[in-house]
Chains A and B, each alone.
Chain A
Amino acid sequence: MLEVQDLTVTFHTGRGTVTALHGVDLTLPTGRVTGLVGESGCGKTVTALAVMRLLRPPGEIRGGRVLLGGQNLLALSEREMDRVRGARIAMIFQQPRASLNPVFPVAAQLTHVLRLHRGLSGRAAWAEGEALLARAQLPRPERVMRAYPHQLSGGMCQRVMIALALACRPSVLLADEPTTALDVTVQLQIIELLKSLQQELGLTVLLITHDLGLVAEMCDFVSVMYAGRIVEAAPVSALFRRPLHPYTRGLMASRMRAGSRALPAGIPGRIPDLHQMPAGCPFHPRCPLAQGLCAERDASPETVDGGDPAASGAARMVRCHFWGRGVA
């Protein structure tokens, strides 16, 4: 299990210090897929980078804990962390081609990580590299081994990235919008691949996306993020049956529905600029339920019963003063 508690991240910019993550809590149950959804700029990538401790200046982790198997990763030294990255937690990125080194063929990149964490070299590393590519369902792995990233399609690059990420048998995979940059047909293939690998290897996955359809398809749990805060967290079935937070409901309403000709309702306004965070609940300027209180103080996370006997015990969290109103 990977647990993120009260994670706070700031960026020092020319216009002052902004808080990109405001005490984020996330739980990734072992062997399950947890979705992290939210609009562009809400802090999804920053969350994943912070968990891996890959944030670079001006980004800084100001507080919180990241617990992996009871160990707080934020308290480890850099050298200890180097043995966690890649070996116990791996990450794949939104732009598959850009995350591969352009001057090395795939083989060099694969054998390099195999040597780094598993001590394999020479033929053994080569054979294992091919096996990993085959496992990522790349046709003709022996050819792909010799290819440079620019000779591969986006989908193939993402498969190579998946092979690289899984090369050292991590237990946790952070997938940052793994399909956003790909064609629709290729997206489906990559999702299928991730799904089958996740089940086969029992991976604990954080799937970052803004596609609720993908969440419904792949995830067991989901956390909804807005302006650097988790505003709702629930098992997927419960969330889709009864979204509690007005932002979640807005997201649901803004989905394009197959067969429907009406434009999706959407959420009025835009995600606030980090430099000009509204006081109180950051969502209140766009919120249909907002009242005076919302502009004064932010709601605190509230644990609620799913109200669903089937999912009993699966508590859900919502962060809104007035979530009860307007819930069907």
Chain B
Amino acid sequence: MSAPRGAVATPATLPVWTAAADAIDLLKRNPITLAGAAVIVVIALVGLAAPAIAPYDPLTTNPADALRPPGAGHLMGTDEFGEDIWSRVLWGARIDLAIALGAVVVALVLGCVIGAVAGFWGGWIDEVAMRSMDVLQAFPSFILAMGIAAALGPNLRNLILAIALINVAVYARLMRARLLVVKHALYATAARGAGNPPWRVLLVHLMPNCLTPIFVQSSLQSGWAILTAAGLSFIGLGVRIPEPEWGVMVAIGVARITVGAWWVSFYPGLCIALAVMGFNLIGDGLQDLLDPQRR
């Protein structure tokens, strides 16, 4: 036997702590994942601290200070309304991460439930669920998101819902595919034989065995959600001007790039790129992190 890793712990030690220690250990051996995680953690911290660290109110206009280049008073310059870009970028971290998190959580929960139920019970339930997913996926996703956002009305909540809905099918398919494999595993029969009712076999014994590809996907999708949110906001179907959302900020600045005011769009654009990259890097490393065999 290869002895279980980690110090011999007393029964009082919670499994949660050993799991956390494992995760930190693994991050240390994966510098790329660590870099991705660091980027996202920094963005999250900045977003949380925005009210405290932003030098200006993100929505206070000051026509006298319009379109200042990056410099002493305004680290990243100002936009055409004289709003401080640095302050708005900080507040944007908060909004964009909330969109990513919200959209992914909603899509993941909905998709996992649909996929799990479809895969586990099969038959007509499976047919109905998966044909609905086919319908969702029959549209180009950005167009569908545009449609949903336009129908629901442009605001933050509806933006999150629209992005979530177009992704439900992705999670549902991943979950169903994995479940079709694991439901025939001997440990599922063993769990049933230990007296677990079917729903508990599904929830407690099978679904945790399906989550690795789902989590990997959700990390990649978080980056993608930010891109979509920015895209929708850019065309006016998401968060509206003058909210400090990165996509909106890029939209405000595009008209001014030709007159040389590159900074208005550049900094929020850079943030979008950084966040998307961060999530993608995490996604790659998550595969290793979540697989107990590779620990």
Contacts and interface: CB of A to CB of B under 8 A. Distances in A.
A151 B1 contact: yes
B285 to A, nearest CB: 18
Interface stretch (B50-58, B85-93, B142-150, B188-196): B188-196
A54 interface: yes
Given A101-B209, A102-B292, A126-B11, A151 B193 contact: no
B190 A113 contact: no
Contacts of B187: 98-102
A123 interface: yes
B20 to A, nearest CB: 14
B292 A123 contact: no
Given A91-B193, A113-B194, A127 B4 contact: no
The residue among B2, B4, B9 with the most chain A CB atoms within 10 A of its own CB is B4
Contact of B195 (A87, A142, A144): A87
A152 B189 contact: no
Given A113-B195, A117-B195, A151-B1, A107 B15 contact: yes
A82 B11 contact: no
Contact of B18 (A84, A91, A101, A146): A146
- Which label, helix, strand, loop or mixed, suits the secondary structure of the A interface? helix
B209 A150 contact: no
A311 B99 CA distance: 79
Nearest to B294: A150
A121 interface: no
The residue among B11, B195, B295 with the most chain A CB atoms within 10 A of its own CB is B195
A102 B197 contact: no
B292 A101 contact: no
B186 A153 contact: no
A126 B9 CA distance: 13
B192 A54 contact: yes
Contacts of A100: 187, 190
Interface string B157-195: 000000000000000000000000000011101111111
A152 B18 CA distance: 18
Interface residues of B, number: 30
The residue among B2, B4, B194, B205 with the most chain A CB atoms within 10 A of its own CB is B194
A85 B208 contact: no
Contact of B4 (A54, A86, A147): A147
A47 to B, nearest CB: 14
A206 interface: no
Contacts of B258: none
A85 B186 contact: no
B292 A103 contact: yes
B235 interface: no
B197 A79 contact: yes
Nearest to B197: A82
Contact of A103 (B189, B197, B209): B209
B194 A54 contact: no
A152 B208 contact: no
Interface string A97-116: 01111111101100011001
B71 interface: no
A73 interface: no
A146 B10 CA distance: 11
A11 interface: no
A127 B292 contact: no
B191 to A, nearest CB: 7
A105 B292 CA distance: 10
B72 interface: no
Nearest to A57: B122
B135 interface: no
A156 interface: yes
Contacts of B8: 142-143
Interface string B193-213: 111110000001100110000
A152 B1 contact: yes
A87 B189 CA distance: 15
Nearest to A174: B193
A123 B18 CA distance: 17
Nearest to A111: B15
A170 to B, nearest CB: 10
B196 A82 contact: yes
Contacts of A112: 204
Contacts of B15: 105, 107-108, 146
Nearest to A167: B194
A78 B197 contact: yes
Interface in B1-48: 1-4, 6, 8-9, 11-12, 15, 18
A225 to B, nearest CB: 21
Contact of B292 (A116, A148, A153): A148
B177 to A, nearest CB: 17
A232 interface: no
9 contacts: A49-B189, A83-B195, A100-B187, A101-B191, A101-B205, A117-B195, A123-B12, A142-B11, A152-B1
Interface of B: 1-4, 6, 8-9, 11-12, 15, 18, 185-187, 189-197, 204-205, 208-209, 292-293, 295
Given A91-B190, A116-B195, A150-B293, 10 more contacts: A90-B194, A99-B186, A99-B187, A100-B190, A102-B292, A103-B292, A113-B194, A144-B4, A148-B4, A168-B194
